[in-house]
Chains A and B, each alone.
Chain A
Protein backbone atom coordinates (compact mmCIF):
# COMPACT_ATOMS: atom_id res chain seq x y z
CA UNK A 1 0.00 0.00 0.00
CA UNK A 2 1.34 3.41 -0.90
CA UNK A 3 2.06 5.62 2.10
CA UNK A 4 -0.69 8.12 2.79
CA UNK A 5 0.16 11.68 1.94
CA UNK A 6 -0.40 14.12 4.79
CA UNK A 7 -3.25 16.44 3.98
CA UNK A 8 -3.16 20.19 4.36
CA UNK A 9 -5.17 21.82 7.11
CA UNK A 10 -7.20 23.74 4.55
CA UNK A 11 -8.16 20.60 2.67
CA UNK A 12 -9.32 18.87 5.84
CA UNK A 13 -11.21 21.90 7.10
CA UNK A 14 -13.00 22.19 3.77
CA UNK A 15 -14.17 18.60 4.06
CA UNK A 16 -15.28 18.31 7.66
CA UNK A 17 -18.70 19.28 8.91
CA UNK A 18 -18.64 22.77 10.33
CA UNK A 19 -20.76 24.89 12.64
CA UNK A 20 -21.17 28.60 13.08
CA UNK A 21 -18.26 30.00 15.08
CA UNK A 22 -20.60 32.23 17.08
CA UNK A 23 -22.40 29.24 18.56
CA UNK A 24 -19.00 27.89 19.59
CA UNK A 25 -17.83 31.23 20.99
CA UNK A 26 -20.99 31.91 22.96
CA UNK A 27 -21.13 28.37 24.32
CA UNK A 28 -17.55 28.67 25.49
CA UNK A 29 -18.40 32.01 27.09
CA UNK A 30 -21.36 30.50 28.90
CA UNK A 31 -19.10 27.74 30.19
CA UNK A 32 -16.46 30.16 31.48
CA UNK A 33 -19.16 32.16 33.20
CA UNK A 34 -20.51 29.03 34.89
CA UNK A 35 -17.03 28.20 36.13
CA UNK A 36 -16.54 31.69 37.51
CA UNK A 37 -19.82 31.45 39.41
CA UNK A 38 -19.13 27.95 40.73
CA UNK A 39 -15.47 28.19 41.63
CA UNK A 40 -15.27 31.88 42.56
CA UNK A 41 -11.46 31.93 42.45
CA UNK A 42 -9.98 32.94 39.10
CA UNK A 43 -7.02 30.64 39.72
CA UNK A 44 -9.37 27.68 40.12
CA UNK A 45 -11.12 28.57 36.87
CA UNK A 46 -7.77 28.63 35.06
CA UNK A 47 -7.06 25.17 36.41
CA UNK A 48 -10.47 23.79 35.49
CA UNK A 49 -10.27 25.19 31.94
CA UNK A 50 -6.86 23.61 31.52
CA UNK A 51 -8.21 20.27 32.78
CA UNK A 52 -11.13 20.43 30.36
CA UNK A 53 -8.74 21.21 27.54
CA UNK A 54 -6.59 18.26 28.55
CA UNK A 55 -9.65 15.96 28.45
CA UNK A 56 -10.46 17.27 24.99
CA UNK A 57 -6.86 16.92 23.83
CA UNK A 58 -6.55 13.26 24.67
CA UNK A 59 -9.68 12.52 22.63
CA UNK A 60 -9.07 14.99 19.84
CA UNK A 61 -5.70 13.53 18.88
CA UNK A 62 -7.43 10.39 17.56
CA UNK A 63 -9.56 12.34 15.15
CA UNK A 64 -6.58 14.43 14.20
CA UNK A 65 -4.42 11.43 13.31
CA UNK A 66 -7.26 9.70 11.50
CA UNK A 67 -8.10 12.66 9.28
CA UNK A 68 -4.74 14.27 8.68
CA UNK A 69 -2.70 11.26 7.53
CA UNK A 70 0.19 12.74 9.48
CA UNK A 71 2.55 10.01 10.55
CA UNK A 72 5.23 10.12 13.20
CA UNK A 73 6.92 13.50 13.42
CA UNK A 74 10.73 13.25 13.34
CA UNK A 75 11.28 15.86 16.00
CA UNK A 76 9.57 18.40 18.21
CA UNK A 77 10.07 21.07 15.55
CA UNK A 78 7.96 19.16 13.09
CA UNK A 79 5.31 18.50 15.73
CA UNK A 80 5.00 22.20 16.47
CA UNK A 81 4.66 22.95 12.77
CA UNK A 82 1.96 20.35 12.35
CA UNK A 83 -0.01 21.74 15.29
CA UNK A 84 0.17 25.25 13.90
CA UNK A 85 -0.50 24.50 10.26
CA UNK A 86 -2.80 21.48 10.38
CA UNK A 87 -4.22 21.18 13.91
CA UNK A 88 -5.47 24.71 14.44
CA UNK A 89 -6.78 24.90 10.90
CA UNK A 90 -8.61 21.61 11.00
CA UNK A 91 -10.52 22.27 14.20
CA UNK A 92 -10.84 26.02 14.50
CA UNK A 93 -10.26 27.18 10.94
CA UNK A 94 -7.37 29.41 11.99
CA UNK A 95 -3.62 29.32 11.52
CA UNK A 96 -0.83 29.92 13.93
CA UNK A 97 2.83 30.75 13.42
CA UNK A 98 5.69 29.04 15.15
CA UNK A 99 8.55 31.28 16.27
CA UNK A 100 11.07 32.00 19.01
CA UNK A 101 12.77 28.61 19.09
CA UNK A 102 15.30 28.20 21.82
CA UNK A 103 18.80 26.97 21.03
CA UNK A 104 18.22 23.27 21.67
CA UNK A 105 14.87 23.16 19.88
CA UNK A 106 12.80 22.15 22.88
CA UNK A 107 10.60 25.17 23.30
CA UNK A 108 8.84 27.52 20.92
CA UNK A 109 6.00 29.97 20.71
CA UNK A 110 2.72 29.52 18.88
CA UNK A 111 1.25 32.83 17.84
CA UNK A 112 -2.43 32.84 17.01
CA UNK A 113 -3.38 35.19 14.24
CA UNK A 114 -7.04 34.85 14.91
CA UNK A 115 -8.84 33.48 17.92
CA UNK A 116 -12.49 32.49 17.65
CA UNK A 117 -12.80 31.96 21.40
CA UNK A 118 -12.60 35.63 22.23
CA UNK A 119 -15.16 37.28 19.95
CA UNK A 120 -17.49 39.52 21.97
CA UNK A 121 -15.28 39.12 25.05
CA UNK A 122 -13.96 41.79 27.35
CA UNK A 123 -12.35 40.88 30.66
CA UNK A 124 -13.94 42.74 33.54
CA UNK A 125 -11.69 44.21 36.24
CA UNK A 126 -12.59 41.43 38.63
CA UNK A 127 -11.21 38.76 36.29
CA UNK A 128 -7.83 40.19 35.41
CA UNK A 129 -5.99 37.03 36.45
CA UNK A 130 -8.09 34.86 34.16
CA UNK A 131 -6.52 33.07 31.23
CA UNK A 132 -9.70 33.11 29.23
CA UNK A 133 -8.44 30.75 26.52
CA UNK A 134 -6.76 28.34 28.91
CA UNK A 135 -8.69 25.49 27.34
CA UNK A 136 -6.37 25.73 24.30
CA UNK A 137 -3.21 25.14 26.28
CA UNK A 138 -4.83 22.10 27.88
CA UNK A 139 -5.78 20.71 24.48
CA UNK A 140 -2.23 20.97 23.18
CA UNK A 141 -0.76 19.41 26.31
CA UNK A 142 -3.26 16.54 26.27
CA UNK A 143 -2.89 15.82 22.57
CA UNK A 144 0.92 15.82 22.69
CA UNK A 145 0.93 13.58 25.72
CA UNK A 146 -0.94 10.96 23.69
CA UNK A 147 1.92 10.96 21.18
CA UNK A 148 4.53 10.50 23.92
CA UNK A 149 5.52 14.10 24.44
CA UNK A 150 5.26 15.59 27.89
CA UNK A 151 4.97 19.33 27.51
CA UNK A 152 4.32 22.42 29.50
CA UNK A 153 2.12 25.00 27.80
CA UNK A 154 1.79 28.54 29.12
CA UNK A 155 0.36 31.84 27.94
CA UNK A 156 2.93 34.52 27.29
CA UNK A 157 0.77 37.12 25.62
CA UNK A 158 -2.99 37.53 25.66
CA UNK A 159 -4.82 40.31 23.86
CA UNK A 160 -7.62 40.23 26.42
CA UNK A 161 -5.00 41.23 28.96
CA UNK A 162 -3.79 44.09 26.83
CA UNK A 163 -0.99 42.41 24.86
CA UNK A 164 -0.67 42.75 21.11
CA UNK A 165 -1.09 39.06 20.23
CA UNK A 166 -2.00 35.64 21.54
CA UNK A 167 1.18 33.73 22.27
CA UNK A 168 1.47 30.26 23.73
CA UNK A 169 4.80 28.93 24.90
CA UNK A 170 5.18 25.19 24.36
CA UNK A 171 8.08 23.55 26.17
CA UNK A 172 9.03 19.93 25.65
CA UNK A 173 9.78 18.39 29.04
CA UNK A 174 10.55 14.87 27.96
CA UNK A 175 9.88 12.41 25.25
CA UNK A 176 8.40 9.28 26.77
CA UNK A 177 9.84 6.24 25.03
CA UNK A 178 7.07 4.23 23.49
CA UNK A 179 6.66 0.64 24.47
CA UNK A 180 5.70 -1.37 21.48
CA UNK A 181 3.58 -4.43 21.83
CA UNK A 182 6.32 -6.33 19.98
CA UNK A 183 4.72 -9.68 20.55
CA UNK A 184 1.73 -8.70 18.44
CA UNK A 185 3.91 -8.26 15.39
CA UNK A 186 5.47 -11.67 15.42
Chain B
Protein backbone atom coordinates (compact mmCIF):
# COMPACT_ATOMS: atom_id res chain seq x y z
CA UNK B 1 0.00 0.00 0.00
CA UNK B 2 1.22 3.43 -0.78
CA UNK B 3 0.20 6.84 0.36
CA UNK B 4 0.33 6.11 4.07
CA UNK B 5 0.63 9.83 4.58
CA UNK B 6 3.29 12.29 5.44
CA UNK B 7 3.91 10.86 8.89
CA UNK B 8 6.14 8.13 7.61
CA UNK B 9 8.84 10.39 6.22
CA UNK B 10 10.15 11.44 9.59
CA UNK B 11 10.72 7.94 10.85
CA UNK B 12 14.39 7.51 11.46
CA UNK B 13 15.96 4.73 9.43
CA UNK B 14 17.02 3.10 12.71
CA UNK B 15 13.43 2.98 13.91
CA UNK B 16 12.41 0.69 11.11
CA UNK B 17 12.49 -3.01 11.85
CA UNK B 18 15.54 -4.74 10.44
CA UNK B 19 14.58 -6.79 7.40
CA UNK B 20 15.31 -10.48 7.49
CA UNK B 21 17.51 -10.07 4.45
CA UNK B 22 15.78 -12.63 2.29
CA UNK B 23 15.04 -10.25 -0.54
CA UNK B 24 16.74 -10.83 -3.83
CA UNK B 25 17.42 -9.05 -7.08
CA UNK B 26 18.52 -10.61 -10.34
CA UNK B 27 22.18 -11.37 -10.77
CA UNK B 28 22.15 -9.28 -13.94
CA UNK B 29 21.00 -6.21 -12.03
CA UNK B 30 24.01 -6.58 -9.77
CA UNK B 31 26.36 -7.38 -12.64
CA UNK B 32 25.24 -4.30 -14.61
CA UNK B 33 25.69 -2.10 -11.57
CA UNK B 34 29.08 -3.54 -10.73
CA UNK B 35 30.28 -3.09 -14.27
CA UNK B 36 29.29 0.58 -14.14
CA UNK B 37 31.15 0.92 -10.85
CA UNK B 38 34.31 -0.48 -12.45
CA UNK B 39 33.96 1.61 -15.59
CA UNK B 40 33.35 4.80 -13.67
CA UNK B 41 36.38 4.22 -11.48
CA UNK B 42 38.44 3.54 -14.56
CA UNK B 43 37.78 7.11 -15.67
CA UNK B 44 39.11 8.44 -12.38
CA UNK B 45 42.52 6.79 -12.35
CA UNK B 46 45.61 6.50 -14.48
CA UNK B 47 47.04 3.21 -13.32
CA UNK B 48 45.87 -0.21 -12.27
CA UNK B 49 47.01 -0.06 -8.67
CA UNK B 50 44.93 3.07 -8.22
CA UNK B 51 41.89 1.43 -9.82
CA UNK B 52 42.17 -1.55 -7.51
CA UNK B 53 42.56 0.76 -4.54
CA UNK B 54 39.36 2.59 -5.45
CA UNK B 55 37.42 -0.62 -5.89
CA UNK B 56 38.77 -1.78 -2.57
CA UNK B 57 37.57 1.44 -0.95
CA UNK B 58 34.08 0.88 -2.32
CA UNK B 59 34.19 -2.68 -0.95
CA UNK B 60 35.42 -1.45 2.41
CA UNK B 61 32.31 0.68 2.79
CA UNK B 62 30.17 -2.39 2.09
CA UNK B 63 32.14 -4.58 4.50
CA UNK B 64 31.90 -2.17 7.42
CA UNK B 65 28.11 -2.11 7.04
CA UNK B 66 27.79 -5.83 6.54
CA UNK B 67 29.55 -6.49 9.84
CA UNK B 68 27.19 -4.19 11.68
CA UNK B 69 24.14 -5.62 9.97
CA UNK B 70 25.02 -9.26 10.55
CA UNK B 71 26.08 -8.76 14.15
CA UNK B 72 22.69 -7.24 14.88
CA UNK B 73 20.67 -9.76 12.97
CA UNK B 74 22.47 -13.06 13.24
CA UNK B 75 24.64 -12.86 16.29
CA UNK B 76 22.51 -11.13 18.92
CA UNK B 77 24.70 -8.02 18.95
CA UNK B 78 27.88 -9.94 19.64
CA UNK B 79 30.94 -9.93 17.49
CA UNK B 80 33.92 -12.23 17.36
CA UNK B 81 37.02 -11.29 19.32
CA UNK B 82 39.30 -14.14 18.32
CA UNK B 83 41.22 -14.50 15.10
CA UNK B 84 39.84 -17.84 14.00
CA UNK B 85 36.36 -16.81 15.06
CA UNK B 86 36.31 -13.72 12.87
CA UNK B 87 37.90 -15.57 9.94
CA UNK B 88 35.28 -18.27 9.98
CA UNK B 89 32.61 -15.57 10.35
CA UNK B 90 33.88 -14.01 7.11
CA UNK B 91 34.29 -17.33 5.33
CA UNK B 92 30.90 -18.72 6.37
CA UNK B 93 28.37 -16.13 7.54
CA UNK B 94 29.41 -13.12 5.46
CA UNK B 95 29.99 -15.18 2.30
CA UNK B 96 26.70 -17.02 2.72
CA UNK B 97 24.71 -13.82 3.06
CA UNK B 98 26.44 -11.89 0.28
CA UNK B 99 27.15 -14.61 -2.25
CA UNK B 100 24.65 -17.30 -1.30
CA UNK B 101 27.29 -19.89 -0.43
CA UNK B 102 30.14 -20.55 1.95
CA UNK B 103 33.55 -19.69 0.45
CA UNK B 104 35.30 -22.63 -1.20
CA UNK B 105 38.22 -22.71 1.20
CA UNK B 106 39.89 -20.97 4.10
CA UNK B 107 43.57 -21.76 4.62
CA UNK B 108 46.44 -20.59 6.72
CA UNK B 109 49.53 -19.46 4.83
CA UNK B 110 52.36 -21.97 5.17
CA UNK B 111 55.20 -19.49 4.92
CA UNK B 112 54.02 -16.67 7.13
CA UNK B 113 52.26 -16.88 10.47
CA UNK B 114 50.16 -13.78 9.78
CA UNK B 115 48.68 -14.82 6.44
CA UNK B 116 45.37 -16.45 5.69
CA UNK B 117 43.69 -17.14 2.38
CA UNK B 118 40.08 -17.41 1.29
CA UNK B 119 39.75 -18.99 -2.14
CA UNK B 120 36.84 -19.06 -4.51
CA UNK B 121 36.69 -21.01 -7.73
CA UNK B 122 34.49 -18.47 -9.47
CA UNK B 123 34.11 -15.25 -7.54
CA UNK B 124 30.80 -13.52 -8.21
CA UNK B 125 32.33 -10.24 -9.29
CA UNK B 126 34.77 -11.91 -11.67
CA UNK B 127 32.17 -13.99 -13.41
CA UNK B 128 31.36 -11.65 -16.27
CA UNK B 129 34.70 -9.92 -16.42
CA UNK B 130 37.57 -10.70 -18.70
CA UNK B 131 40.58 -8.56 -18.08
CA UNK B 132 42.10 -7.11 -21.24
CA UNK B 133 45.73 -8.08 -21.84
CA UNK B 134 47.04 -4.58 -21.40
CA UNK B 135 45.61 -4.39 -17.91
CA UNK B 136 47.96 -7.03 -16.58
CA UNK B 137 47.14 -8.30 -13.13
CA UNK B 138 44.05 -6.22 -12.58
CA UNK B 139 41.49 -8.12 -10.51
CA UNK B 140 37.92 -7.02 -9.78
CA UNK B 141 38.24 -9.21 -6.73
CA UNK B 142 39.76 -6.08 -5.18
CA UNK B 143 36.16 -5.12 -4.43
CA UNK B 144 35.63 -8.31 -2.43
CA UNK B 145 39.03 -7.90 -0.80
CA UNK B 146 37.75 -4.50 0.29
CA UNK B 147 34.62 -6.06 1.76
CA UNK B 148 36.78 -8.51 3.74
CA UNK B 149 39.05 -5.70 4.95
CA UNK B 150 36.00 -3.64 5.89
CA UNK B 151 34.60 -6.44 8.02
CA UNK B 152 37.94 -7.29 9.67
CA UNK B 153 38.96 -3.70 10.32
CA UNK B 154 35.62 -2.72 11.81
CA UNK B 155 35.74 -5.77 14.07
CA UNK B 156 39.14 -4.72 15.40
CA UNK B 157 41.34 -6.90 13.22
CA UNK B 158 43.22 -4.52 10.93
CA UNK B 159 44.78 -6.33 7.97
CA UNK B 160 46.05 -5.84 4.47
CA UNK B 161 43.79 -7.71 2.08
CA UNK B 162 44.53 -8.34 -1.59
CA UNK B 163 42.97 -10.38 -4.38
CA UNK B 164 44.97 -12.59 -6.72
CA UNK B 165 44.28 -14.90 -9.62
CA UNK B 166 45.69 -18.38 -9.17
CA UNK B 167 45.78 -20.53 -12.31
CA UNK B 168 44.23 -23.95 -11.85
CA UNK B 169 45.39 -26.99 -13.71
CA UNK B 170 42.79 -28.37 -16.07
CA UNK B 171 40.57 -25.33 -15.62
CA UNK B 172 40.09 -22.58 -18.12
CA UNK B 173 39.63 -19.83 -15.62
CA UNK B 174 41.86 -19.13 -12.66
CA UNK B 175 40.45 -19.15 -9.18
CA UNK B 176 40.53 -16.04 -7.02
CA UNK B 177 42.39 -16.02 -3.75
CA UNK B 178 41.84 -13.32 -1.18
CA UNK B 179 45.04 -12.96 0.80
CA UNK B 180 44.69 -11.59 4.32
CA UNK B 181 47.77 -10.35 6.12
CA UNK B 182 47.04 -9.28 9.69
CA UNK B 183 48.95 -6.48 11.36
CA UNK B 184 51.37 -7.26 14.18
CA UNK B 185 49.14 -5.95 16.92
CA UNK B 186 46.44 -8.46 16.00
CA UNK B 187 48.86 -11.36 16.31
CA UNK B 188 50.30 -10.05 19.57
CA UNK B 189 46.83 -9.73 21.09
CA UNK B 190 45.92 -13.17 19.86
CA UNK B 191 49.06 -14.63 21.46
CA UNK B 192 48.28 -12.90 24.73
CA UNK B 193 44.76 -14.29 24.79
CA UNK B 194 46.34 -17.70 24.38
Contacts and interface: CB of A to CB of B under 8 A. Distances in A.
B106 interface: no
A31 B40 contact: yes
A6 interface: no
Contacts of B40: 31, 34-35, 48, 52
Q: Which of A31, A35, A121 has the most CB of B within 10 A?
A: A31
Interface in A51-77: 52, 55-56, 59-60, 63
A60 B41 CA distance: 21
Interface stretch (A78-86, A146-154, A162-170, A172-180): A162-170
Nearest to A63: B28
B129 interface: no
Contacts of A135: 33
Contacts of B30: 19, 23-24, 27
A28 B30 CA distance: 9
Interface in B172-186: none
A162 B6 contact: yes
Given A30-B62, A116-B23, A159-B9, A60 B28 contact: yes
Interface in B74-96: none
Interface string B1-43: 0111110111011000001010111111110111011011100
Interface of A is mostly: helix
Contacts, number: 127
B36 A93 contact: no
Q: Which of B24, B65, B124 has the most CB of A within 10 A?
A: B24
A91 B26 contact: yes
B167 interface: no
B23 A93 contact: yes
A48 B25 CA distance: 23
Contacts of A116: 23, 25
B41 A19 contact: no
Given A19-B99, A162-B9, A165-B2, A92 B33 contact: no
B66 to A, nearest CB: 7
Contacts of B33: 24, 27-28, 31, 56, 135
A164 B98 contact: no
B61 A29 contact: yes
A154 B124 CA distance: 33
A147 B96 CA distance: 39
B6 A91 contact: no
A96 to B, nearest CB: 11
Given A19-B100, A52-B36, A116-B25, 5 more contacts: A18-B24, A22-B66, A24-B25, A55-B36, A55-B39
Interface of A: 13, 16-24, 26-31, 33-35, 38, 48, 52, 55-56, 59-60, 63, 90-93, 111, 113, 116, 119-122, 135, 159, 162-165
Closest 9 CB pairs of A and B: A21-B23, A18-B24, A17-B27, A162-B9, A30-B61, A30-B58, A122-B13, A26-B62, A91-B29
12 contacts: A19-B30, A21-B23, A23-B30, A27-B30, A30-B58, A31-B33, A34-B58, A56-B32, A59-B32, A116-B23, A162-B10, A164-B8
